[in-house]
Amino acid sequence: MVEHQLRRRGIADERVLQAMSRVPRHLFVPESLRHVAYEDGALPIGEGQTISQPFIVATICSLLRLEGDERVLDVGTGSGYQAAVLAELAAEVVTVERVPELYEWARRALAQAGYERVETRLGDGSLGVPDRAPYDAIAVAAAAPAIPPALYGQLAPGGRLVLPRGGRRGQELVLAERTDEGPVERVSVPCRFVPLLGAEGFAGG
């Protein structure tokens, strides 16, 4: 997975490549899909949600440029896989999920894989997790029409946020850095995520 899907496609951050070779992705997919856990794609994890494609997880992590001492917020826990990769790359990870079944499932998977220090929360992540802010980095794994102001507001100065921005059917990954002059944005690859529902996401949640 790391050599073929990541390195050959241009993921060059050695810390990200190493982190993804360490995290047992098969522990984060339903048992019936374990045999395809390392293949090149998103996979269903129940409740209409998906575990992201490895290349996209690697791209998000690379854009965040983590060095090891950061506090990171992961919005949209889903399977817990992205949170586990972030835990390999940073000092503290807080992850938030809105669907109780997924929250419970991810807690179990994270514990089973040895990531019990990841802090799991149940709630509307479009509002962030204010009581643990500020964050050096925020990774959003669900699509939104715009960067939720609450999330940007929970970034530390110089902090970086990655989010799939666009419509419900297709988006592009956007990197936003918090500066004294306001957000500085850079657009990365096209992508397709499930919608971020909730107060500052799409309606319907």
Binding residues for ligand SAH (CB under 6 A): 49-52, 75-76, 78-79, 81-82, 96-99, 102, 124-126, 141-142, 194, 196-198, 201
Residue showing the smallest CB distance to ligand SAH in the complex: 78
What values do phi and psi take at 176, rounded to 5? Answer: -120, 130
Q: Which of 21, 32, 52, 79 is catalytic?
A: 52
CB of 95 to ligand SAH, least distance (A): 8
CB of 49 to ligand SAH, least distance (A): 4
166 vs 198, which CB is nearer to ligand SAH?
198
H or E stretch at 143: none
Contact 198/205 with Cβ under 8 angstroms? yes
36 vs 184, which CB is nearer to ligand SAH?
36
User: Does the annotation count 52 as an active-site position?
Assistant: yes
Handedness of CA 92, 7, 142, 51 (dihedral sign): negative
Q: Which amino acid is at 81?
A: Y
CB of 179 to ligand SAH, least distance (A): 26
Both tokens of 50, joined, read: 């998906």
Nearest to 179 by CA among 155, 197, 201: 155
